[in-house]
Structure 1
């Protein structure tokens, strides 16, 4: 048989896989072939949508399911041994994998990113492919993992037997966080774009630390009830009876996993600071969700809690680290141990690209000044000054502006699809209600068919909040248009939303 005539798959089956197997790798638990690890960028051309090619590695070798350790790129025998190396290196760098190989079935070209062997690249014969123990030993030396840390670092992530496993970037975030903690780092920042699964990543970090018993009592803090409730019923569900939500200002010390709104454990009066019912060393891990919203400010309620439990390890999660004169996530948590950006999420196809449609309103551009002694609709005189975008829907309401925005939103939906899920973010609850009314009037035909076509979904309105799940559910037809202020700005997984 002429090797040059064999396909790439034949080269894998007849030469590369046997070499891996003979080196002691378990084909069923440590070796995966043709692994697709991105979704492929979403490409929008007019009204046509397609996906780019996802990234796919020929082989990924795992020391344990949570530790990818090597990438192999195969080529037909008509190519050189190292012709797949550059492609393999780009994959390895994305996945944070240290050992990289290229092969055409004659030999392997090895690239050792750890440089523990002293040689960066060298060709090795097929029969000399390294064993799992050889690569793990070099990996541990590279990461400074000694025998005391191995049990924690190799603790498996949670799986329920389904196909849901951490994506490649989530695995990096989980592993880097756990490695940092084993090295004694006690303030950790993870930056991951909105929609990339921060809560699922946090769950896997907590699960592995909890299961390895490195961290026994854990507090997960957020600033919205909806975030806590979603977390408890979805991602954190496997904790079962070990988990509780702190509410009604009751501190029950019989659990191991605690979920809480920071508002539920703090207050202006001392007796409302129920976190002080726990001893300062009660928790050994605190995870702060959306930590950009004040947790790093010296005077915030978050910081008060973190200061009290200062002996615990603190992990901050955010999509947008805040760096201002008064608030600094990096000052408190340190530089991020890992960042997965919006740009990378779009490039990988895990997030949708977006198109900005700019509509300039005359009053937004030039401002508005009332005539002298002009009265508002309630008969009060309007202060004579120039009003601009900073004032609109805060200090001054221009009803015609609200109606025009509603008209423009409706025109866009008429030109695309009137049943595309739409979120209109407003300045406050009052603005959201006025916008709801304006959109109802613009879409009277569909509202007449179903009054839930337009809904205000804000924290103060139980009818609107009750419709949030229906808005999010792909199979939920109504509501179609949601007006909101803050409630839906964070942690609401509205995958069906087409227009913002």
Structure 2
């Protein structure tokens, strides 16, 4: 056998896998070939998208299912034994496994990341590959795990019988949490971006601890009714009859898995504190979902529950750690056991990227001052001062501003898809209602077909809240547009939301992250790969804040014996949801409470009889600036012009134009070079617009040569005509010449990518010249056709 002639796959099948089996690795449960790590970042170009190449480890080895312990990178035998090591080390870093191998079929190079003897790398024969037990023993000793701790750590994951494995970051979050608890850690924090599967991760943690009997009675706390119900019917369903939901005034102690709203187990009166019907040591484990909200405040009732059950192990789950001068959940839970950020999720292709459209309105930027003695539409004299963005929709309503925002939202949907699910975040309930009315008028044709095309979904409106599930479910066509203020900022798993509109002044980084998280889920079945943010109130300036996606930094600094002044309590549509108030979980006052169901800060008058909010109908507003903001390959906002950014990015890849031409001319497919540059963040469609009126007629080749090196560009049509002028087709037979001329016309219309596609010969108008087999035969076979196509491209770019 000539080993050098074998492919990489042959090397795996004939040498590596047999070596693993001889070392007692089980091919079904312990060996995963081509193990997927990432899905490949979604790259958006205009209204189109593609994916970058996903990362896969040639082999991931598992001590037990769900517990990766080693990776192997395979190469064909033309490579040396260690040629795959650096690639393998990168995968090992992602999976955080201690043992790394590279092989070309002759043996293995073994990299031991926890080596005690100082020998990190050594060569092994094929017959010397270590057994699963040998590697596990090395790892367990390094971790200092006792026999009892190992029993907990090695407890099986839940499996529904399929071969589904949690994503790599979920494996890390689950395993690191289990290991920390096995070692006796009592307070743990998991930070995972919205849309990355926090609840599923929590389920697997609870399942393994419950099955190992390390934790026997468990409480899962959430702050939205819909979250509890979704959790019970979806991720937590396997717990079956062992699970119950705690409701007010009910404390059945015969179950093992309890789910509850914070608000259902707390209240102002002692008898309403249902949790005190349980003894302080009743629960072994408490998992707190969205722990950045109320539980962070030291005097909150959420914290009161945690301190009552202080003997229980407590895990906080959050996408956005609450870190302010006065409040810190890191102070309570400790540094995160594991963090997985929004930026990393987008980079890995598990979360949807976004583009931002900033729309600046004149009165927002320049302010507005009423004429002396001017009355609003209700006859109230408007206080004489300059009103600016912080006043609009709070103390002053400019009705034409609301109408303009509604028009811009509707225009965007009309230019893309009018049935793309859209959330419009407003400043308060009044603003959300006015925005609903304006959107109804802008979309009168679709509202006439179905009145639920636009719905206000806020805490005070039963009809709107009843439509929340329909908005969330991808199968439900209506509602399409939801106007809200606070109710939909968290816990709304709107997988198909493609447009997030910010007409809300957002000062809180936590709230900003939560709102952005409404669009970050990907749903491939419904074509949701990316989303757009329409920003009318400069909220996206928070992207520039280092805290946007950095690691949480603890800044909780109590001084001496000074009391800690709690911040403003979290609100739902402007109503405090601090436990102990009389509000229900959706921000309403219960019937019979003596309070209006309308939020306090939405009243239209105050104690000294001044209007709560002036309403002005006839002040003209206009858009001053509208621009699309782009994010580079690492997720950072591009603040320079696209031309400058392209010049700089191309300069990193090619030091001279000759380097670029060498790569271009040497590429078997030109589209491969275009895709590669797109992955590095070159926005060809946007660049074409910035270049000028003819930009869209230029080939990516010309755009790059022009922008990066100042070459005069030719349009695709000009390049095609130059080839025709040379009587290029004369050396081919009549039918082959007609095919090449048709390909040239296709290039002039659409670019180089389409003519390189294998199915191009079966697409009109080329298919009118004959069947694909007949057309290829005209060139003398497939190889000669491909050669002719390559020569045609060479002729196109020879200038």
Matched residues in 2 for 1:398 and 1:55: separation? Answer: 51
SS, match of residue 360 in structure 1? strand
User: 1:398 aligns to what?
Assistant: 398
**Alpha-carbon deviation of 1:143?**
2.0
TM-score (norm 2): 0.61
Residues 198-237 of structure 1 mapped to structure 2, 5 A cutoff: 198-237=198-237
Tell me: CA distance 1:385–1:308, structure 2 relative to 1, closer, same or farther (3 Å). Answer: farther
The one-character-per-residue Cα deviations of 1:392-428 (angstroms, maximum 9, x if unpaired) are 2233322222111111111111111111111111222
Offset of 1:40 from its aligned partner?
Answer: 1.0
Q: Distance in 2 between matches of 1:249 and 1:56?
A: 52
Aligned-pair CA distance for 1:328: 0.6
Computed over aligned residues only, the root mean square deviation of the Cα atoms, in angstroms, reads 1.4
- Aligned equivalents of 1:164 and 1:477: distance in 2? 30
Measure the CA separation in 1 of the matches of 2:395 and 2:289: 32
Match of residue 171 from structure 1? 171
1:451 matched to 2:438: no
C-alpha distance in structure 2 between counterparts of 1:142 and 1:395, whole Å: 62
Compute the displacement of 1:60 (Å): 0.8
Give me the whole-angstrom Cα distance separating, in 1, the residues matched to 2:163 and 2:483: 36
Which residue is equivalent to 2:732? none
Question: Retained in 1: the 8 A contact 2:420–2:497?
Answer: yes
Question: In structure 1, how many angstroms separate the alpha carbons of the residues matched to 2:169 and 2:403?
Answer: 44
- TM-fit CA distance, 1:369: 2.9
The reply to whether residue 492 of structure 1 matches residue 492 of structure 2 is: yes
1:120-135 equivalent positions in 2, closer than 5 A: 120-135=120-135
Q: Aligned-pair distance for 1:201?
A: 0.5
Paired residue for 1:409?
Answer: 409
Identify the range of structure 1 (33-42 vs 374-383) with the bigger mean alpha-carbon deviation. Answer: 374-383
Matches within 5 A, 1:98-177: 98-116=98-116, 118-177=118-177
Distance apart, 1:117 and its partner CA: 5.1
In the other structure, the counterpart of 2:374 is 374
Q: CA distance change for structure 1 residues 371 and 284 in 2, over 3 Å: closer, same or farther?
A: farther
Alignment check: 8 A CA contact 1:420 1:498 kept? yes
Deviation at 1:164, TM superposition (A): 4.1
Check the 8 A contact 2:190/2:338 in 1, yes or no. Answer: yes
Say if 1:301 and 1:474 are closer, same or farther in 2 by CA, change over 3 A: same
Deviation at 1:163, TM superposition (A): 4.8
Per-residue CA distance 1:131-163 (angstroms, 9 max, x = gap)? 011100011012221101111101111111235
Tell me the equivalent position of 1:15: 15
- Taking the TM superposition and a 5 Å limit, the aligned residue runs for 1:62-461 are 62-116=62-116, 118-461=118-461
Change (3 A) 1:301 1:60: same
Q: Which runs of 4+ in 1 moved over 6 A?
A: none
Q: Secondary structure at the match of 1:108?
A: strand
Alignment gaps of 5+ in structure 2: 501-799
Maintained 8 Å contact 1:321/1:329: yes
* SS of structure 2 residue aligned to 1:359: strand
| Deviation for aligned residue 1:113 | 1.2
1:38 equivalent in structure 2: 38
Q: Which residue of 1 aligns with 2:464?
A: 464
3-state secondary structure, aligned to 1:351: coil
Query: Equivalents in 2 of 1:286, 1:386: separation in Å?
Result: 51
Q: What SS is found at the alignment partner of 2:292?
A: coil
Structure 1 contact 294–327 (Cα < 8 Å) conserved: no
What whole-Å deviation, never above 9, does each CA across 1:66-113 have from its counterpart, x for those lacking one?
A: 211110000011011111111111111111111110000111111111
Residue deviations 1:221-257 (CA, integer Å, cap 9, x gap): 1111111111111111111111111113322211111
Greater mean deviation of Cα atoms: 436-445 or 447-456: 447-456
Unpaired runs of 5+ residues, structure 1, are none
Structure 1 SS opposite 2:221 = strand
Partner of 1:54: 54
Kept in 2: contact 1:245–1:258 (CA 8 A)? yes
Q: 1 CA distance for matches of 2:407 and 2:116?
A: 64
CA offset at residue 55 of structure 1? 0.8
Residues 391/269 of structure 1: CA separation in 2 closer, same or farther (3 Å cut): farther
Q: Is the Cα–Cα contact under 8 Å of residues 221 and 287 in structure 1 kept in the other structure?
A: yes
For the 8 Å contact 1:66–1:154, the answer to whether it is kept is no
Displacement of 1:36 in angstroms is 1.7
Contact 2:248 2:274 in 1 (8 A): no
Please give the alpha-carbon distance, in whole angstroms, between the structure 2 residues aligned to 1:146 and 1:343.
37
Rounded Cα–Cα distance in structure 1 between residues aligned with 2:271 and 2:381? 45
**More displaced 10-residue stretch of structure 1: 366-375 or 79-88:** 366-375
> What is the alpha-carbon distance in structure 1 between the residues aligned to residue 383 and residue 144 of structure 2?
67
Match of 1:291, SS state, is coil
Contact 1:116–1:141 (Cα < 8 Å) also in 2: no
Alpha-carbon distance in structure 1 between the residues aligned to 2:32 and 2:97: 14
Identify which range, 115-124 or 309-318, moves more after superposition. 115-124
The TM-score with structure 1 as length reference comes to: 0.97
The whole-number CA distance in structure 1 between the counterparts of 2:100 and 2:290 is 36
Give the Cα–Cα distance (whole angstroms) in 2 for the partners of residues 329 and 495 of structure 1.
28
Task: Give the distance between the partners of 1:163 and 1:14, measured in 2 at CA.
Answer: 24
Taking the aligned partners of 1:213 and 1:27, their CA distance within structure 2 comes to 29
Which protein has the larger Cα radius of gyration, Structure 1 or Structure 2? 2
